[in-house]
Amino acid sequence: MATAAGPPPDDSAVPAGGRTRTRRVLSGIARPYRDSHGVGRFMLVTGTVLAAIMVVLAVFAPLIAPFGFAQVADVDGERFGNHLEPGGVHLFGTTTQGFDVFSRVVWGARTAVTVVLLALVFSLIVGVLLGLVAGYVGRWVDRLLVMIMDSLFALPALLLAIVVAFLLAEHIGGGAATAALAITAVYVPQYFRVVRAATVSAKEQTYVEAARAMGARSGTIMFRYLLNNVIQSVPVIATLNAADAILTLAGLGFLGYGIQPTEAAEWGYDLQRAVTDAGTGIWWTGLFPGMAIVLLVMGLTLMGEGLNETINPAIRVRRMLSITLPERAHESRPGVSPVSRQPGPGPEQDGEAGKDGAQ
Amino acid sequence: MSTRTAGSLRTYLLTRVLLFVPQVIVILTIVFVLMRVAPGDPVSVALGGQRSEEELAELRAAAGYDRPIIVQYWEYISGVLRLDFGHTIIDNRSVAEIFAVNGGATLTLTVAAFVVALLLAVPLGLIAGRFRDTPLDGSLRVFGILTYAAPVFFVGLLMQLAFARGLGWLPSSSQASPVVTARVPSQTNIFLVDALLAGDTAAFWNGVQHLVLPAVTLGLLLTGTFMRIIRVNLIQTMRSDYVEAARARGVSETRVVIQHAFRNAMVPFVTILGLQVALLLGGAILTEQTFNWNGIGSQLVRYLDSRDYIAVQGIITLFALAVVTASLLIDIINAIIDPRVRY
C-alpha cells in the first residue's frame, strides 16, 4: 500500500514547439492514456471510469440523490419507515433510523471526494515543500525532518489518523476539515520521502549547477527549477494514496472519529450502523455503502497502477521481457540513460525492474 | 552493495541497534506532543464535571499534571524506559495490565490472520508468478486489488451475513460463547491456550470456531500485498542464471518454481514484513470492533470514548514500540540471512 519506490524523474518537458500552455497541460494529462498498452491501459481506463463515476455522483449529488442524507420523511411529511427492503421509492431500502440508503450512498460519494481532495491538497503542500527543503538544504534540517517523518511513518496509519482526528475534534469539531487533516498527517511522510529523494538526485544535475553559477537564489532554484522536475514523481503516489485515504476515512467513520453523522453522509459510519443490522439479517444497509467504498478504492488503485506501469519505464521492461529474449537486458544496461522519450518498448532497462514490488 | 569483510555483519547490527534509540525517542516525543497539545490537563478532560474542583486538583497533583510540561515529558520518557506506561484515569488500571489482559485476544487474532494470509498468499503468489501475464495471473491480480480495496469491516460484515447469519456455520462475534468463557479459568489471558491448559477440548473448539471469521477477515487484508510481493520476487528469481541452468537441464517449469526458485523468492519477502506489522495492528483495531473482540483495539476505542488521554497515550506508545521493535528484529534477521542487505 505505501508506495516506497517512487518512479525516477523521467520524461521532462513536452516539446514546446509553439504550443500554448493549456494544450501542453492537457497533452501531459492525456499522455499516459496514449502511451499505455495492454494490461496497463486496461487498468488505467477501467480505473479512470470507476473513479469518474464516483466523481459524477459527488458533483451532481443534489440532482441524483432523491432525498437528503439526513431526511427521514418525504415532502408531505410522511415518514419513510425503518428497514424497508430495497425496491420501489427506496432503491436500496432504508436504515434503522429511516434514512434512504441510496441517497446516503450518493451523498457519501460527495463526502469522500471532498475529504480526499482536501487531504491531497494539504499533504501535497506540506509534503512537497518539506521534501524540497530537506533535499535541497541538506545538513541537520534534512536529518531532523527525515527522522520525524520516519517516526510518523512507523506509527500504524489508522492509529495516527484516529489520534489526530480525536484531538482536532475537540478544537474544530468533527467536520470534513478534521477528517482531511487527520488523513494528511498519515500521508505527508510519503510525499516527503519521494520528493526528497527526487530533489537529492536532481540537485546534482547540470542545469541546477548552471543556475547556481548564474547566481540564482536558493528559493528560485527550488521553486523554478527543482519543483517542476521532482513533481513528476507525485501523480502515481497521489492516486494510490487517494485510494488509501478513502479507506482511512471510512475506518475513522467506522470507529466514530470521522465526520459526525449530522454533518454529512459517510460510508464508514453507515457501515458501523450496519454491523448491528447484520445480526438480524438486514443486508442492504451495509452492502451498498461498502460496495461504494470498494468501487472507488478499486478505481483509484487501478488508475495508480496503470499510471505506474505507463510512466515508470523500469516496469515496462517486465512486459517486454515476456516477449523478447530476457538476456538482452543485461548487455544493453551500461549505456542506458534513465530518460526515455520512447512511447513504445525501447531498450531502456536499468535492471531495477521489479522494484515496484517494494510497495 | 559493496563487499566487505566478515566484520560487516557486526557493524551493521551495531549501527542498526544504535539508530533504534533516537528513533524511539523521536516517536515518544511525537506521541507526547500529540497528546498534550490539547488544552486542559488529562484529569480534567476525563473527569471534568463528574468530580468537584478540589477532588480534581487533588488527582492532578497526585498524578503530577500540575507540574511544568518539561518535567512531565521527562517523567513520561523515563517511565517508558522503566516499562511504566502510566495508569488510566477513569479506572486506574496500569497500561501494562491492559496489554497483559487484553493483549492475548489481539495476539491470537493477529497471529491467526497472519497464518491465513500466508496460507492463501504463498500458493496464489507462486501460481501468479509461474503463469505470469496469463488470464490466470490477471484475475489473481484483480483478486489482490479487491482484497486491498475492501475495508476490513466491510469484509467482516459480509462474512457475518454469509457464514453466520445466512449459512449459520460459524458464530459471528466475541471470542467464545459466554457459557464457555465462564467455564475456562483465565491463566495466560490467551483463551485458546487457557482452554488447552484446562484440558477443555470443547472450549478450545468453541474458541477456534469464533476465531475463523475474524482471522480470515483480517488475513485477507494482508493477502493482496503478500501475493504481489511473492509474485514479483518469484519473477525476478526466475530470471537468474541458476534458474536458467536448471531449465537448461530440462527441469520442468513448475518444478523449477517449487524446487529451485521458491526459497530464494521468499527471502526478500521478509523485508516487507516490518511495514505489515503496522498494517496488521491498524486492521486489528477495526476487526476487533467489527467482531466484538475484546482486544487492545477495543480497549483503545473505549478509552478514546471516555477521553482518557493517559490510557490512549500509553496504548499508542506500546503500539509504536511494538512496530519499531518488530522492524528492528526483521532488519536483523534479514541481515543475517541475506548478506546483500549489510552496508
List the grid coordinates of B10.
Answer: 557486526
CB contact under 8 A, A155 and B278: yes
N- to C-terminal Cα distance for chain B?
7
CB contact under 8 A, B151 and A287: no
Q: Say what the pLDDT of residue B342 is.
A: 56
Contacting B residues, span 290-309, partner chain A, CB-CB under 8 Å: 290, 300-301, 304-305
CB contact under 8 A, A155 and B281: no
Nearest to A114 by CA among A303, A296, A301, A299: A296
Residues of chain A scoring pLDDT < 50: 1-17, 315-326, 328-359
Residue A351, chain B, CB below 8 Å: the answer is no
The residue assigned the cell 450502523 is: A273
List the grid coordinates of A198.
Answer: 527526487
**3 state DSSP class of A197:** helix
The residue assigned the cell 464457555 is: B180
CB contact under 8 A, A279 and B165: yes
DSSP class of residue A262?
T
Helix (H) or strand (E) holding A109: helix A101-137
CB contact under 8 A, B27 and A155: yes
Q: Where are the domains of chain A?
A: 38-312
List the grid coordinates of A305.
Answer: 497502477
Q: Say what the pLDDT of residue B116 is.
A: 92
Contacting A residues, span 164-183, partner chain B, CB-CB under 8 Å: 164, 166-167, 170-171
Which carries the bigger pLDDT value, residue B183 or residue A350? Answer: B183
Nearest CA in chain B to A155: B320
Q: Where are the domains of chain B?
A: 102-342
Q: What percent of chain B has pLDDT over 90?
A: 3
Distance CA A251, CA A239 (A): 19
Which carries the bigger pLDDT value, residue B278 or residue B285? Answer: B285
In chain A, residues with a C-beta closer than 8 Å to the C-beta of B156 are 275
CB contact under 8 A, A156 and B279: yes
In chain A, residues with a C-beta closer than 8 Å to the C-beta of B37 are 167
Distance CA A346, CA B4 (A): 36
| Chain B nearest CA to A295, separation (Å) | 8
CB contact under 8 A, A156 and B281: yes
Q: Say what the pLDDT of residue A73 is.
A: 67
**B312 φ, ψ (degrees, to nearest 5):** -60, -45
Taking only the tens place, the pLDDT of each residue in A207-220 is: 877 877 887 777 77
Residue B229, chain A, CB below 8 Å: the answer is yes
CATH of A38-312, one of 3.30.930.10, 1.20.1440.120, 1.10.3720.10, 3.40.50.620: 1.10.3720.10
Which carries the bigger pLDDT value, residue B343 or residue B224? Answer: B224
**How large is the C-alpha radius of gyration of chain A?**
23
Q: Say what the pLDDT of residue A15 is.
A: 47
Alpha helices, DSSP H only, in chain B?
Answer: 8-36, 42-47, 53-63, 69-81, 95-130, 135-149, 152-159, 178-183, 191-197, 201-237, 241-248, 253-255, 262-290, 296-305, 309-337
CB contact under 8 A, A293 and B160: no
Top residue of B153, B292, B313, B334 to mutate, by most chain A CBs within 10 Å, is: B153
Taking only the tens place, the pLDDT of each residue in B65-123 is: 777 778 888 888 888 888 887 778 778 788 888 888 888 888 889 899 999 998 998 88
Q: B102-342, superfamily in CATH? A: MetI-like (1.10.3720.10)
The residue assigned the cell 467489527 is: B290
